[in-house]
Each structure stands twice: as C-alpha cells, then as structure tokens.
Amino acid sequence: MRSKMIKEGLERMPHRALLYATGLPKSEIGKPFIGVATSFTDLIPGHTGMRDLERFIEKGVHTGGGYPFFFGVPGICDGIAMGHGGMHYSLASRELIADMVETVAEAHRLDGLVLLTNCDKITPGMLMAAGRLNIPSIVVTAGPMISGHYRGRRLNLTSDTFEAVGKFKKGLIRKEELEALEMCACPGAGSCQGMYTANTMACVTEALGMSLEGCATALAVSSKKRRIAFESGRLIAHLVKRNITPRKIMNIRAFENAIMVDLALGGSTNTTLHIPAIAHEAGIDLPLDAFDRLALKTPHITDMLPGGKNYLEDLDYAGGIPAVLKRLRQKLNDNITVSGKNIYEIADKAEIFDEDVIRPLDRAHHAQGGIVVLKGNLAPGGSVVKQSAVSKNMMKFRGTAIVFNSEEEAMKAILAGKVRSGHVVVIRYEGPKGGPGMREMLSPTSAIAGMGLSESVALITDGRFSGGTRGPCIGHISPEAMEGGPLAIVEDGDPIRIDIPGRRLEVLLTDVEIGRRLKTWKKPAPKINKGYLARYARSVSSANEGAIMK
C-alpha cells in the first residue's frame, strides 16, 4: 500500500501521531487509506445532495475494509456562471480540479480514491486526475434532477428558463408564466434533467467502466443512488487489494465504448473536449476525428432533451446505460469495469423496459451518431455540432455573416432584434485562449430558439455550447480566432455555407482573399491579463486537442 510511506517504521512516528490526532483509531491504521474527494457545495443544485451520499460512501468504505478520509474539491455551476464573466472560469476549473485531486492524493499517499462528482467540469476533472495518478479509483456521480411540473406539463432547465427569456422578449408568454417557470423548472437537487453536459459525462463515465452500472441515471436523492454510493465505497478497498487501476480500465477500447454510447445518446458536444483530455491523462492519444469515425457506425437511438423529448428519468426507467450497452453490444469492445464485471456481462444481463426510449438499432432516430466533426476553410483543425439536435431542413444552410467579438455583443444584438432570418451569427475570440476559458453560449443559442429563429439562423463560434443547446450551432472552431484562425478574418455580410452531411464549414471567399485578410489581421489584446485565467490562456491548447494544459 502507498500509505505505508506515511505510517510504517520508526521514522514515521510523527506522521502516525498526526494521523491519530485526526481521530484515526489505532486498530484502523493498517487498513487501506481511501481518499473520498467530495465536490459538495451549496452553490450547485447537482451537488447539494452529496452530504447524504458521503454518509453512504463512508459506510461502504468501512464495510469493505478501508478507512476513509474526506477532502473537498470546488465546483462551478455552469448554468449560474453562464452569460457573464464567471463563465471564463468553468472549463479552466477542470484543470484545477485534476491538480487538486492529484496534489492531495500524492501528498498523503492515499491508496485509493472515491470521486464524488456530478456537474460539467468536475466529473472530467476527477477522471483526468484518476488517469494521471493511476491509483485504484471509482467514480460516484450524484445523479440527475427530477423533472419540474407546471399546469400538467413537465419542465426542464433549458427550454423552460433559458429559452423562456427569448419567448418572453417576443411576447409569446406572459410575465406570470415566466415567473412560474422560474420557480418550477428545477424542483430540487440533481444535475439538469436532459442529456446536457453533466448527465452526458455521467453516462460516459459509466460506459468507460469507471462507475457502477446504473450510476449515471440513478436519480439524485433516490434510495437507488444511496445503494450505489454504499457499494462504490465497499468496492474501493477490493480494487486496492487487487491493484485494479484506472489505466487498466481506461484503455482505447473503453474510450471507444464511451464515445459510441455518447453518440447513441446524442450527448453534449463538450465530450469532444473532455474525453480526449481524460484519454491524454491516461496516456492515450485520441484525436477529434475519432468521434466522426465512430459516428458513421453508431446510430442515434435515444430522443433526449434538449433536441428530443425524453428526460434522464425516462432513460433510467427504461434501463439506463446497461440497457444502452445491450442495444450496442455488437458494436462495443469487451472490457473490465470497476464493478468486476465486463462490459459484455453487464450488457447481457441488462433489461430494456421501454422500446421507444431506447430504440432498437433498426428503428434508430438517426443512422449516425449525435456528434459530427466539420472541417473546411473556416475550421481547418475541425469544429463540432450536435447533429441530433438539428432539424432536417437546417442540416444544410447558407447565410450571411453577422460578426461579434464576444458573447455579450451577440446577446445584446439578438435581444434587440438585429439578428434576422438568413444570418449566420459569428461569435469569436471566445476559444480556450481568446475567451479565455471557452465560454458556453447557451444564452444566445437559447434566445435564438426562444425567438423562433432556430429554423432560419445558424451560429458558429470558437467557443463552445452547453449540452442544452439545440439547432444549427457549430462550436470548437479550430484554430481559434485568437490564434489567427480563419474565423478571425470573417466580416459582416460574408457568405457562409454549412453542410453537416458533407462535414463542411466554409466561408465562400477565395484563398487569395482569405490570405490577404490574414496578412493584415492583428492579434487583439488579451481580455484578461491577471490571475489564473492569464496563466491558463498562456498554457491551454486548442479545442481540437481537448483544451488541455501544456
């Protein structure tokens, strides 16, 4: 055990004295030391219920023969941070979370980790730490929120709050309804109810084999989630004793499985940042093109919010991720998981309780997976779009550019009615370096949808989107504008062509004209030049590399 370094031998007497000062009984010092990295906070609905899960993890660790030590990891709620300067910190916090887990685990020589997480950047940050440390680890995602209800209809965060802003601005809903939606859309603890980034990453984590079967969709505050938390705590000492480490689980087979499950679910485009970043920490090169390659053979079989109608609770009641694995079994790779069961074993034992929520492959909603990669003279390094959330008549679109150098500029113009049918909204200098922090654009995309323009307006950006975004919204354009990518030289009125089936994103200018403009382009001053974000901007890589720190 790694913890022997701090608890065995004469010279470790002072270390033992300090450990006993924490209340550690002398009878427990020989057991594996298990770190429980908890991201509990009062700030995030997805995390407010974690105190309860901590209790059950603790019971499980003791039952399994380990001794738990809890330590805190910070979290940011993307929904609350969105639409203002706070969103600069969201993606950047992923690296801090990975560094903090690494720092505590290494400094205290922990033998294993239980990673209690839920929301957007916390889950990938913890998985990155697990891959980097390569000590036995198991992830517990705290679970999705139940649906809201108002006058007989179910509610969710995106369409019933973010999109409601645009609807109210256009006079489509009354103030009384707006206020009711504000109170009813999010009824309690848990991650937001659709296949947004938090829930997508929970599903990816389970498909990777890093959490127990059923964990991703088990609802927050449910007894099922409590039992999963207990069993995760019980199993971690077993993983330590058998030296089952993350890199033995998170191999290339596992990452391909995770991507295929993501594609089948129509998950958030943010996975194209997070999955490659986790793979990088696990010592695996996973290029962006892997998503497009696997999309060609992975059908989209669930109709999940935001583009569809089903909530995470529907997916859970239909059988959860094990049922999705059962549907995809012939395409998946067999691999070990933290449960001790292999992927095929989990798939074979799974039951599918709703044939419409998790469709057979021959009745898929789309023949190809939810996320595709577009390239062209606007995105030589690639860009991403959630095609499962784009209507058929917007899969190909040609429009004229209306250009903004920040999200705030774009949002002001959209709400002022300056964005009209036929426009391609261009938001640039919002990439990993330019943002800095690659802010999500849910506010402008939701305003466009709420104002009834999602069938006639497209949006492209070197920033990124929330998992709640729907419509022809293309993000992660690489190289980003701050690096002198072609997006930097687009002007108002330039014709832009989007061809999702053809995987192309182009500004209809000659190479000569593009070259002329690039020669005269001048790099703007950084938006933020102090503190962590200034350091982040200097070190972060492009979106097509997962926005990892170098």
Q: Please give the helix or strand (H or E) that residue 35 lies within, else none.
A: strand 33-38
Q: CA-to-CA distance for 405 and 81, rounded, in angstroms? A: 20
Exposed, middle or buried: residue 549 (CB in 10 Å: 0-12, 13-18, 19+)? Answer: middle
Let me know: does 320 contact 217? Beta carbons within 8 Å: yes
Q: CA-to-CA distance for 248 and 240, rounded, in angstroms? A: 13
Specify the pLDDT at position 236.
98
Rg (CA), the chain: 23
The number of residues in the chain equals: 550
Specify the pLDDT at position 226.
98
At which residue do the structure tokens 């500004």 appear? 507
Q: pTM for the whole thing?
A: 0.96
Token duo for residue 35: 């770190």
Tens of pLDDT, residue by residue over 97-137, are 999 999 999 999 999 999 999 999 999 999 999 999 999 99
Token duo for residue 510: 């000659």
Specify the pLDDT at position 473.
95
Q: CA-to-CA distance for 16 and 440, rounded, in angstroms? A: 47
Q: Is 466 a catalytic residue?
A: yes
Q: Which letter does DSSP use for residue 162 in this model?
A: I
Q: Between the CA of residue 353 and those of 23, 151, 214, 327, 359, what are the distances in Å?
A: 47, 28, 14, 12, 11
CA atoms lying within 13 Å on the CB side of residue 373:
21
Domains of the chain in start order, with CATH, are 31-143+190-349 (3.40.50.2300), 372-545 (3.50.30.80)
Q: CA-to-CA distance for 367 and 415, rounded, in angstroms? A: 36
- Does a cis peptide bond (omega within 30 degrees of 0) precede residue 436? yes
Specify the pLDDT at position 442.
85
- Does a cis peptide bond (omega within 30 degrees of 0) precede residue 444? no
Residue positions forming the annotated binding site = 78, 120-121, 440
Specify the pLDDT at position 468.
80
In the chain (550 residues long), the average pLDDT of successive 10-residue segments reads 97 98 98 98 97 98 98 96 92 98 98 98 98 98 98 93 90 96 97 96 98 98 98 98 98 98 95 98 97 96 94 98 98 98 98 98 96 97 94 96 96 95 98 96 89 94 89 96 98 98 98 98 96 97 96
CA atoms lying within 13 Å on the CB side of residue 369:
28
Residue positions forming the annotated binding site for Mg(2+) = 78, 120-121, 440
End-to-end CA distance of the chain: 31
Classified as helix, coil or strand, 500 is coil
Check 39, 191, 443, 466 and give the catalytic one.
466
**Spatial CB neighbours of 152, under 8 Å, sequence gap ≥ 6:** none
Specify the pLDDT at position 16.
98
Sheet holding 67-72, edge to edge: 67-72, 33-38, 112-117, 137-141
Token duo for residue 124: 């990938």
